[in-house]
Amino acid sequence: MATLNYFPCTATLSHPPSRPTFPKPPSHRLQISSSIPEKKNTDIETNSNSQPKVDRRNMLLGLGSGGLYGAANLVINPRDSSATPIQAPVLDSCGVATNLNNNKELDINCCPPTTDRIVDYRVPPVFQMKMRPSAHRVSPEYIFKYNMAIDRMKRLPKDDPRNFFQQANIHCAYCNGAYKQQEGQDGPDPSKFLQVHNSWLFFPFHRWYLYFYERILGKLINDPTFALPFWNWDNPKGMTIPPMFLDERSALYDKKRNKDSMPPAVVDLGLTDIKDPLQLVTNNLTIMYSEMIRGNADVYGFMGKAYRQGDAPNQGPGSVERGSHTCVHWWVGDPNQPTREDLGNFYSAGRDPLFYCHHANVDRMWTLWQYFIPSNKVPDKRITDPDFLNASFLFYDENAQLVRVTVQDCLDNLRMGYEFERIDLPWLDYRPPAQTVGARVRRANTKSAQPNTVFPLKLDQIVRVLVQKTKKGKADEVLVLEDMEVDTSKLLKFDVFVNDEDDNVFELDKAAYLGTYAQLPHKSGTNSTVKTSISLKLTDLYKDMDNIDDDETVLVTLVPRNQGGGVTIGNIKIIEAPPPANKPAA
C-alpha cells in the first residue's frame, strides 16, 4: 500500500492584496465568491469585500498615527446580533478551569486581567499583506526575529495581558470550563460551559486568537508585517517538528514534548503507532485527502456542527478538528507529564510556542478548503446562519486593549491582512486505488452483525457490523454514527473503514478508509460524558470500490485506538446525503 506516486507542483505566484489565484486542480474549475455578509453600522463605515484603494498620502498619515497598530479602527457601540449566538464571556466572572485526564482533576487559574472598557474591533485597512511562511523553509533572519519576539513576550510583566503565559491562558480559559455561557441580560448561565471546540466555532476562534497573537509579536519587535509560520504537516517535507523549535537555548523551545516525536520521527496524523516512515507519509496524505475532500457531505462536516447559546458543548467537530488537528496535539505532548502537557492538553497547549505554528496550518486548511477545494466536491462552503456570523469572543490586542470580535469579521484571511506561502499540496489528488469487494461482506452476512443486535456498544475492541444502504447503486449517501457518548476526560480516537478487504488497520492508504473521530481531554460540562455524532460522506468511497452497486449492505469496521473505552455508540446508519446548507447566492 505504501507508495508515493503523485506530488504535483504549484506555480510561482505573486501576492497582491486580493483573493489569491490558487493553482487549478486537474479537470476542475474553481468558482470563488465572497461569503462575507454586508454589515450595517451607523458609527463607522465598514470595509468592502475587496481591498481598498490606498492613497499613498493617507497611508503615510495612517502609519504616522499608529498605522496598523492604531486604535482608530475600534468603536465602542455594540452591533446588532441575532437571538441566540454564543456571546463573548464576562471576564470578571471567569472561574477556575478544570483539566481532566484519566479521572484526575487539576484546578488551574487561567483567568485574564479584567477591565471595564471593551471596544468592538474593526479590521484595519490592509496596506501591506503579511505572508505566513512554511516553518521548514524560513531563513535564519526570520528565526532570529521570531525568537526575539517570543523572548520579549515572555519578558513582559506577568499582569500584562500580552505576556506569553497570559496569551497561553486564553486557550485554557475558553477550552477548559473557566467561562460560562452568557444568558441574555441575566449574565452567565452556571449550568452551561463555554467551549470553542467541537463545533462551528473552532476555526473562527483560533483564527482570531492567532491574529492578535501575531500582531502582539509584531508590535514587540516594531515590525507590523511580521507573520507567524505554519507547520506544514500536510506535506512530506514538513512532516517532522520544524527545526527552529528544537534549540534548547531558544525562546521557541519547550521541554514538555514527546521525546519519541523528535526528528527524524514522522508525524502520525492517524495515531496508528506504526514506525515505518513511508507508511506514515502515505497514511498522512490519505488522511488529508479524506479530511479536506472525500469525507465531508456538507459545510458542517468540515466546519463543525451548530453551537448556539443554551446548547451543551460538543455538538460535533468538523473533519480537521477531529482528525489531524487533534492527533498532532497528542503526538507532540509529553507522555511523561501528568496530563500530557504541554501540547497534549487544552489547558497547557498555548505554553508551547509550537502550538501557534501548528494552528497556523490548521487555519491554512480552512483557507485552502474555502477557496481551493473544487466546488463540485462540496457545493456550498458558506454558513449564513446569523447565530454563526454574530458569535463573539474577547481578546486583548497588541495595545493591551480588550476588544470584542465576531465570526463574520474573520471569514476572509486576506481582509485580515495575511496569506500563506504557496507550497505543494500532494494530498490534493491522493485518491486511493480502486478496491474489489464482496466476498468479505458475504461472509459477514450473519444475524450477529446486524446493527439492532450490536448497538448501543462500548467501543473497546474492533467491531464489524453490516449496515443497510438507502438503495442499490452508487448513491449520495452518508454514514452517521449517532448518540455517541464520549468521555471528554480522555484522549479518544477511532477509525472507520467500509468493506475493508485485508483488515490491516495500520494502513490507511486504501479505498476502505472513510474517516476518524478524535478528541483531546477537556472540560465540557458538569460531568465528563457528553453526547455527539459524526457524519461521513460515502459517495467517493463507493466510486473507489468495484462491485458495490448491487450490494444492499456495506460492512463497517470501527477500530478504537489509544484510550478506546471512552466511547459508546448508540447507533449507526446510512442516510441520503443532505441538501446544501444554504441556497445559492442570487
Count CA atoms closer than 13 A to 430's CA, side-chain side: 31
Do 132 and 181 lie in one domain? The reply is yes
Q: What is the pLDDT of residue 340?
A: 92
Number of domains in the chain: 2
Q: Give catalytic residues, as residue numbers.
A: 171, 197, 206, 325, 329, 346, 359
Do 448 and 356 lie in one domain? The reply is no
In a domain, 285, yes or no: yes
At residue 138, does pLDDT exceed 80? yes
Rg for the chain, CA atoms, rounded? 23
> Taking Cα atoms as reference points, which of 165, 178, 146 lies closest to residue 348?
165
Share of the chain above pLDDT 70, in %: 77
Domain containing 281 equals: 68-420
In a domain, 271, yes or no: yes
Average pLDDT of the chain is 82
Distance CA(577)–CA(536), nearest Å, equals 10
Do 384 and 482 lie in one domain? The reply is no
In a domain, 118, yes or no: yes
In a domain, 21, yes or no: no
* Average pLDDT score over residue span 557-580: 84
Q: Is 168 helix (H, G, I), strand (E, B) or coil?
A: helix
At residue 381, does pLDDT exceed 70? yes
Do 362 and 456 lie in one domain? The reply is no
Do 406 and 463 lie in one domain? The reply is no
In a domain, 516, yes or no: yes
Do 531 and 405 lie in one domain? The reply is no
Q: What's the first-to-final CA gap in the chain, in angstroms?
A: 46
* Average pLDDT score over residue span 511-527: 82
CB 568 within 8 A of CB 457: yes
Do 322 and 470 lie in one domain? The reply is no
Do 415 and 441 lie in one domain? The reply is no
CB 546 within 8 A of CB 451: no
Do 546 and 452 lie in one domain? The reply is yes
Do 239 and 357 lie in one domain? The reply is yes
Highest mean pLDDT among 184-188, 315-319, 385-389 belongs to 385-389
CATH code, domain carrying 292 = 1.10.1280.10
Do 349 and 442 lie in one domain? The reply is no
Do 85 and 130 lie in one domain? The reply is yes
Final residue in a domain of this structure, among 394, 420, 446: 420
Final residue in a domain of this structure, among 369, 390, 420: 420
* Average pLDDT score over residue span 164-174: 96
* Average pLDDT score over residue span 256-272: 97
In a domain, 296, yes or no: yes
Q: What is the pLDDT of residue 455?
A: 87
pLDDT, one tens digit per residue, over 45-62 is: 333 333 333 333 232 223
pLDDT, one tens digit per residue, over 82-135 is: 469 999 998 888 988 876 554 455 678 899 999 989 999 999 999 999 999 999
In sequence order, the 6+-apart residues with CB closer than 8 A to the CB of 185 are: none
